[in-house]
Amino acid sequence: MKLDSLENLFVHELKDLLSAEKQLVKALPKMAKGASSEALRAGFEEHLEQTKGHVERLEKIFALLGKTARAETCKAMEGLIEEGSDLLKEEGAPSVKDAALIGAAQRVEHYEIAAYGTVRTLAQLLGQDEAAELLQETLDEEKETDEKLTELAMSEVNPEAESEAERRS
């Protein structure tokens, strides 16, 4: 890949995101399985369905550009997912593990929010209005997911982890 034009950069970023989203389609069911809180599990399952839609939107954008939808390994997402799966292997109190899972999931969402913000702006600059709209839709869903995770942490998971710790002390 040559970074000699914004168009090439745009396509490169899209390939990276396609890889990131495909990795997440595989990782989210494991995160759902690893969650003890019913609400957190449901949240991961819901975001899995959204994530499949994110892959489809990216594929649609490649079609709009007349390019093949080929993923280029997103190493950042590999690292984020690896940290999450390491957490799942740890022993511990279920609610504390849930709190850790939320932290891992929010790292993922923040990464996606940054990446989609960048590609959306590139799409706008390049006059790719339809692509920009599709990217904005995904960006909004990632932001919503991040907010839902914060709510879940504050309303349920962290209070539960705290009272679990009190019971043990």
Q: Which positions lie near Fe ion, rule CB under 5 A?
A: 51, 54, 112, 142
- Between 16 and 142, whose beta carbon lies closer to Fe ion? 142
- Between 24 and 100, whose beta carbon lies closer to Fe ion? 24
Say if CB 10 and CB 126 are below 8 A apart.
Answer: yes
- Between 19 and 51, whose beta carbon lies closer to Fe ion? 51
Shortest approach of Fe ion to residue 142 CB, angstroms?
5
Shortest approach of Fe ion to residue 154 CB, angstroms?
20
Q: Give the residue at shortest CB distance from Fe ion.
A: 54
Give the residue from 88, 6, 73 showing the smallest Cα distance to 41.
88
Shortest approach of Fe ion to residue 48 CB, angstroms?
10
Residue owning tokens 């891992």: 104
Residue owning tokens 């740890």: 90
Shortest approach of Fe ion to residue 98 CB, angstroms?
18
> Residue 108 is which amino acid?
V
Q: Rounded to whole angstroms, what are the CA distances from 45 to 40, 58, 133?
A: 9, 20, 25
**Environment class of 63 (CB within 10 Å of its CB; exposed 0-12, middle 13-18, buried 19+):** exposed
- Between 74 and 161, whose beta carbon lies closer to Fe ion? 74
